[in-house]
Structure 1
Amino acid sequence: MLIAVFYSILIFSVVATEEDIGLFKLIDTKAAEAFIDSAELVVVGFLEGEDSSGYQELVAAAKRVDSVPVAICTVKEVWADYGLSSDTISLFRKADDHREDLVLAKLKKLEADGLVNFITTNEVRYITEYNQVTAVGLFNSEVKSHLLLFVNKGTEEYSELKARLGALAPEFIGKFLFVLINGAVKSNSRSLGYFGLKSQDLPRVGIYDGDSDMKWLLPEQEISTEQVREFCKSFLRGDLKEVKQAGAEAKTEL
């Protein structure tokens, strides 16, 4: 599947010049769709051309956020397919099937720093590591239910659990955001305390529902894909509503 997407991008788009650090130029809607589908998070600059306001800033931002694929589209027919009529930089993310538009005409000033901030604060992935930057995108998402993996980075189980839950996340698009909270980071002690946990208690899995400000912990056990899947389904069925909340004191944020 990934190979097919890769070749479809090669066929329907042209790679920009070297100074543009390989930005894709999308020449039709099929190319745009393939590019947007190629990664968990992508950015497309719907701009009139290389002389447009925002073009050089986008190139500069792409150099600094190289983990996010960035493309450019100057074809107005493609803009129309995405409901756009003026220069716009759009971020597409799969984790919550969300698109965030930055309409350049509405900005007083556009700089590369601002674009980097726009991308990083909206960087929500299938499993997103929680920190002060990613918290913005997580809490601004329309998806208010979070499946939380509490684990200490650097431990034996860290990479395996992150990969396991990241692979499960696509099953719950639009229902949960999957969030990793590194218990080894001192600033995350508040998040752990909200669930009545300490670093030595990890790894654990919990659910936080932003709409009700309620929280639950999966019983302490080996964390398997099936157990986490059933935990999520139990919440969606409403089975957790009567279960005792995790932690001793309710607070308003993670």
Structure 2
Amino acid sequence: MLSTLFLALLVSSVTATKKDSALPRLNDTKAAEAFIDSAEVVVIGFLEGEESHGFKELVAAAARIDSVPVAICTVKEVWADYSLSSDTITLFRKADNHQENLVLADAKKLETDGLVNFISINEVRYITEYSQMTAVGLFNSEVKTHLLLFANRGSKEFTELKEQLGALAPEFTGKFLFVLINGAVKSNSRSLGYFGIKSRDLPRVGIYDGASDMKWLLPEGEISTERVREFCQSFLRGELKEVKQAGAQVKTEL
């Protein structure tokens, strides 16, 4: 993976062996912190060595998921900084400042496919495209409020709005998860219907609060960074509780 190879050259205290040259070695806390800060989502295998249960599976999983940098740390003094005491594969993500631990002693069966699923499910980003896979990570997050961008992939606004709101998301870390729902996917029609909208109405922006099961739509008009920011802030100020909810009032999941 080019990103991890490049990082291995830049970050001090990082070395790699020929046997697993795709995975950088993190030899102190400074190197681990730099690696974690290098991307929205990263994975570190806190493992005793190459013979550890899960090592080969992690190397194989890393080769299949180019979007997530993966590294290895065998230094137990570093493990303690992340409250770990035994072999663990850990995913770190910035969107909700979350550390997801897969303690290998608790894993009855560990396979490459299972590790790929573990990473894919928990790969929550500043803006995450909704799917059956990512829904698990989104709804398991401690952040229960979602800023939703409904847009049709292939439309002229799709990529621009995704990038625009993805850039806004860091302002609301720990308060909102920003989620992209592709209205062109038939299976997402239920999510649109929950907000009382159809694919032809897109793009639109909404807020879903999982704690109260309440939802609102940003009034029609330009989807600007300023309007979306104010929409989020109005929720945080408690003002949306007085605003009529979007769509039907039937309790359901997205």
Question: TM class by shorter-chain length?
Answer: over 0.9
Instruction: Say if 2:129 is the partner of 1:129.
Output: yes
Q: 1:122 to 1:7 in 2, by over 3 A?
A: closer
The answer on whether the counterparts of 1:9 and 1:35 sit within 8 Å (CA) in structure 2 is: no
The answer on whether the counterparts of 2:8 and 2:15 sit within 8 Å (CA) in structure 1 is: no
C-alpha separation in 2, matches of 1:15 and 1:150 = 43
C-alpha separation in 1, matches of 2:13 and 2:34 = 9
- Tell which deviates more after alignment, 7-16 or 63-72: 7-16
The answer on whether the counterparts of 1:21 and 1:63 sit within 8 Å (CA) in structure 2 is: no
Letter in 2 for 1:130: Y
Instruction: Say if 2:237 is the partner of 1:237.
Output: yes
Matches within 5 A, 1:93-242: 93-242=93-242
C-alpha separation in 2, matches of 1:226 and 1:155 = 22
Matches within 5 A, 1:53-92: 53-92=53-92
Letter in 2 for 1:201: D
Letter in 1 for 2:12: I
C-alpha separation in 2, matches of 1:152 and 1:64 = 28
Letter in 2 for 1:10: V
Please state whether the residue corresponding to 1:78 is helix, strand or coil.
helix
1:250 deviates by: 2.5
Please state whether the residue corresponding to 1:20 is helix, strand or coil.
coil
Deviations 1:26-70 (A, max 9, x none): 010000000000000000000000111110000011111111000
1:11 deviates by: 2.2
The answer on whether the counterparts of 1:88 and 1:103 sit within 8 Å (CA) in structure 2 is: yes
Question: How many residues of Structure 1 are paired with residues of Structure 2 in the alignment?
Answer: 250
C-alpha separation in 2, matches of 1:201 and 1:16 = 54
**Which structure 1 residue ranges, 4+ long, deviate > 6 Å from structure 2?**
none
The answer on whether the counterparts of 2:95 and 2:173 sit within 8 Å (CA) in structure 1 is: yes
Q: Which residue of 2 aligns with 1:14?
A: 15
1:12 deviates by: 2.7
Please state whether the residue corresponding to 1:38 is helix, strand or coil.
coil
Please state whether the residue corresponding to 1:62 is helix, strand or coil.
helix
The answer on whether the counterparts of 1:45 and 1:73 sit within 8 Å (CA) in structure 2 is: yes
Letter in 2 for 1:178: F
Q: 1:195 to 1:159 in 2, by over 3 A?
A: same
C-alpha separation in 2, matches of 1:113 and 1:122 = 14
C-alpha separation in 1, matches of 2:71 and 2:80 = 17
C-alpha separation in 2, matches of 1:114 and 1:224 = 40
Compute the TM-score of the two structures, normalised by the length of structure 2: 0.95
Q: 1:210 to 1:8 in 2, by over 3 A?
A: farther
Deviations 1:93-126 (A, max 9, x none): 0000000001111111111111111101111000
Letter in 1 for 2:48: E
C-alpha separation in 1, matches of 2:238 and 2:9 = 42
The answer on whether the counterparts of 1:127 and 1:177 sit within 8 Å (CA) in structure 2 is: yes
1:79 deviates by: 0.8
1:252 deviates by: 1.9
C-alpha separation in 1, matches of 2:101 and 2:251 = 32
C-alpha separation in 1, matches of 2:252 and 2:242 = 20
Q: 1:175 to 1:32 in 2, by over 3 A?
A: same
Q: Which residue of 2 aligns with 1:253?
A: 253
Q: 1:15 to 1:154 in 2, by over 3 A?
A: farther
1:7 deviates by: 8.2
1:249 deviates by: 3.3
Letter in 1 for 2:15: V
The answer on whether the counterparts of 2:8 and 2:24 sit within 8 Å (CA) in structure 1 is: no
Task: Report the RMSD for the aligned CA atoms in angstroms.
Answer: 1.6
C-alpha separation in 1, matches of 2:10 and 2:214 = 43
Letter in 2 for 1:93: R
Any stretches of 5+ residues in structure 2 without a counterpart? 1-5
C-alpha separation in 2, matches of 1:157 and 1:20 = 41
